Structure 1
Amino acid sequence: MTTSATPTSEPWSTVLQDGTGPVQGEVLDLVHRTRDSQSYCPELIWGNLQTPDYARAVLRRVVEFHEVPDDIEAGVAARTARAALIGQDGRTYHTLLGEQALRRRFGGVEVMRGQLAHLLDATEWNGLRLGIIPSRAELVALPEHGFNIYDGALVSVETVASALDVTEPAEVAVYVKAFDWLRRSAVYGEEARGLIRAELDALG
């Protein structure tokens, strides 16, 4: 992750040239340094809340699509280690998931069942505010790609071809505004848990 003053973009072929482990390790370091995080994940379960099986299925697709070294277990270990920081040392996390993220299947039914059960537990974790935007919700803001905001100073965006870091204050402010508008369409607490339970029931 870069912290330069202007937006920077690196192709995944460069970022992942040594596999997923080093990249996930860098993200873990960034999460460790961050006190306040805001994340919007419309189609995928937020990385900090992924189970090992779910993370393994996601990273398998990354390795195969980008044709990079297969060190998936190292990537899984670093990615899932982020969860241990939730609720620690005053860190705060506000995360928005699209309801679609609960439905996208990675790794099969059993993997998704475990992931959703884990997510259900996470709705009650200290330090985490988890909102879900129902698929039929009226959106205050236009739906956008996912992004992560770190301490209101760095925005990380993943595109199909590259990883983009934004640190220019005016641009960061646009992402902060987008998050604030998106959260108005989200449900929390028991309403959010109801959506997760519904998807668990749908798995049979």
Structure 2
Amino acid sequence: MQTPASPADRTWDDLLQSGTGPVQQTFLDLVRNTRDTVGYHPDIVWGNLQTPEYAAAMLRLVVDFHEIPADIEAGVAARTARAQYIGQGGRTYHVLLGEQALLTNIGGADVMRGQLRRLLDATVLSGLSLGIIPARARLQIYPGDGFSVFDDRRAEVEGFRGAETITDPARLAVFRKAFGLLQSSALYGQDARDLITRVLAAT
């Protein structure tokens, strides 16, 4: 008889079959144990900054698409709990969002307005460097998947094909290079705030 895999050995896709809660709790543990995070999210808002309403709407889409248990409340609680680590314990976060992340309609206009206001507040958070890549910015690299890199030792990439964990140093170097090139097209500080404000006014 085959021995069941321990929770630590289960992949993101395996965990997802039990609902959003186990995946989000395991990801929260990863965030808690990481000191330095960089991430690029071209078309949705970074999970650590999602409002409860945005997170609930996003996880509802995940549940419906993958036909998994609808434990959305548990998933939202674990996902939004990531925000508590921003600015705590010397952790640093450098995150790039594509302008499309401000425009992609998750949950409707009211949800998006609340989410955009959250992003405005986040531009001044200690320990977080938040850049926005304008839709018309000239890119120095072709567009690719969103990703997060944790302590320069592990990258997480997620899409329709499933989630992928990357730890090979040569492959991690590709993500570091991509992030540097993407960063050169991003707006920060007041310029980023102005862009978010314009999108909010039109939402």
Shift in alpha-carbon separation, 1:32–1:196, aligned structure 2, 3 A: same
**Number of positions where the alignment pairs a residue of Structure 1 with one of Structure 2:** 197
The CA deviation string for residues 43-84 of structure 1, in whole angstroms up to 9 with x for no partner, is: 000000000000000000000000000000000000000000
1:3 is displaced (CA, Å) by 9.3
1:15 is displaced (CA, Å) by 3.0
Distance (Å, rounded) in 1 between the aligned partners of 2:51 and 2:185: 26
| TM-score of the pair, normalised by structure 1 | 0.93
1:7-46 alignment, distance < 5 Å: 12=13, 14-46=14-46
1:93 is displaced (CA, Å) by 0.1
Distance (Å, rounded) in 1 between the aligned partners of 2:82 and 2:148: 14
The structure with higher relative contact order (CA 8 Å, sep 6+) is 1
1:134-173 alignment, distance < 5 Å: 134-173=134-173
Distance (Å, rounded) in 2 between the aligned partners of 1:11 and 1:20: 10
Shift in alpha-carbon separation, 1:39–1:108, aligned structure 2, 3 A: same
1:162 is displaced (CA, Å) by 1.1
Q: Secondary structure at the match of 1:143?
A: coil
Distance (Å, rounded) in 2 between the aligned partners of 1:99 and 1:49: 15
Counterpart contact for 1:42–1:145, Cα < 8 Å? yes
Distance (Å, rounded) in 2 between the aligned partners of 1:17 and 1:187: 38
Question: Residue in 1 aligned with 2:86?
Answer: 86
Q: Secondary structure at the match of 2:106?
A: coil
Quick check: 1:127 aligned with 2:163?
A: no
Question: Residue in 1 aligned with 2:96?
Answer: 96
1:10 is displaced (CA, Å) by 5.0
Return the letter of the residue paired with 1:181: L
Return the letter of the residue paired with 2:91: R
Distance (Å, rounded) in 2 between the aligned partners of 1:64 and 1:159: 15
Question: Residue in 2 aligned with 1:199?
Answer: 199
- Runs of 4+ in structure 1 deviating by more than 4 angstroms, as ranges, are none
| TM-score of the pair, normalised by structure 2 | 0.94
Question: Residue in 1 aligned with 2:3?
Answer: none
1:161 is displaced (CA, Å) by 2.3
Counterpart contact for 1:3–1:165, Cα < 8 Å? no
Distance (Å, rounded) in 2 between the aligned partners of 1:10 and 1:83: 24
Q: Identity of paired residues, percent?
A: 57
Question: CA RMSD, aligned part only?
Answer: 1.6
